[in-house]
Amino acid sequence: MSDTQTFEAKITTLGDSIATLTLKEAVSLADYMKVTYGIEPAAGAVMVAAAGKAEEAFIQTEFTVTLLEAGAQKIAVIKAVREATGLGLAEAKGLVDAAPKAVKENITKDEADKLKATLEAAGAKVEVK
């Protein structure tokens, strides 16, 4: 294709709109074209083009803090788990004994970082995903 080729405004607007679709939107468009007009995309064309955009657009907003092990200061870790989760003594001890175990799920990055710091200060090994 030549760099000097020009296109009608309607075509460039349509092309630009299609190029910015999310993966979900691209699949929906493919379904619409198939149902409405009987037009099917070339095998994998929609998925390949949209997959790159979906990977670029994904930003993790929810995190899980997992207690990997309590370490030598098990009592301090149980206390930190109780304070962070509001669990009772038996429940917090059960969670610590069951490590590796999620302490909190679907929390913000700031909350996850604070919880990780608190648990590590108590002597635990922690992972944030």
Distance of CA 20 to CAs 42, 45, 52, 75, Å? 19, 15, 11, 52
Local confidence pLDDT in tens for the 129 residues of the chain: 556 788 899 988 988 888 888 888 888 888 888 899 888 877 655 555 555 555 556 677 889 999 999 888 999 999 999 998 898 999 999 999 988 999 999 989 889 999 999 999 999 999 999
Whether the ω angle into residue 100 lies within 30 degrees of 0, i.e. cis, is: yes
- Quick one: CA torsion of 108, 60, 98, 75, rounded to 10 degrees? -40
86/123 same-domain check? yes
69 and 119 together in one domain: yes
In a domain, 80, yes or no: yes
Is the pTM value of this prediction over 0.95?
no
C-alpha 114/C-alpha 106 separation (Å) is 14
- What's the number of domains the chain is made of? 2
Residue 23 belongs to some domain of the structure: yes
